[in-house]
Amino acid sequence: MSFLNDLHKFCKEHLNEQTLPPAPYPVPEVEPVQQPAVPGAPEAPVIPDVQPEPEPEVERLSPESEVLLVRLIKKALVTEIDPNDVDTISDLGDINEKNAKSSLKMLINIMKKYSSDIDVE
């Protein structure tokens, strides 16, 4: 890679329009040519200029939410649950900003089957 960098540096420093010999033939100015459409060929798809969606800003949890989260995680780590509840939890899919509250309600209801207290007993 060093060779290519050295070559590029040499060309930038030593080769320019003044140092290059003239072309042995006249070089015409070329305008871009529009190709005529081929009959029966599908048109090229128009690709819209799509800007990526901005990532949603992450909000910090309130202290109460942090406490609830830690308690739920702690409880989940020590609770043995029924296989049917495992299936229900597996059906939740991806939890995101839009469905987090409803998913939390469902998870708390499942945990209440095993204990009414969120804390580990």
Asked if residue 121 has pLDDT above 60, the reply is no
User: Domain count of the chain?
Assistant: 1
Does some domain include residue 100?
A: yes
Mean pLDDT of 110-121: 72
Q: What pLDDT, on the 0 to 100 scale, is given for residue 21?
A: 67
Residue 87 lies in a domain: yes
In this structure, is residue 101 part of a structural domain? yes
Q: Which domain holds residue 71?
A: 63-112
Please check whether residue 86 lies inside any domain of the structure. Answer: yes
- Would you tell me how many other CB atoms lie within 10 Å of the CB of residue 75? 18
Is residue 45 situated within a structural domain? no
Report pLDDT digits (tens) over 50-74.
Answer: 777 787 777 788 888 888 888 888 8
Judge whether 26 lies within some domain.
Answer: no
Residues 6+ apart with CB under 8 A from 60: none
Closest CA to 3 of 20, 15, 11, 16: 11
What pTM value is reported for the model?
A: 0.43
Residue 6 lies in a domain: no
Structural domain includes residue 1: no
Q: Which residue has the higher pLDDT, 43 or 99?
A: 99
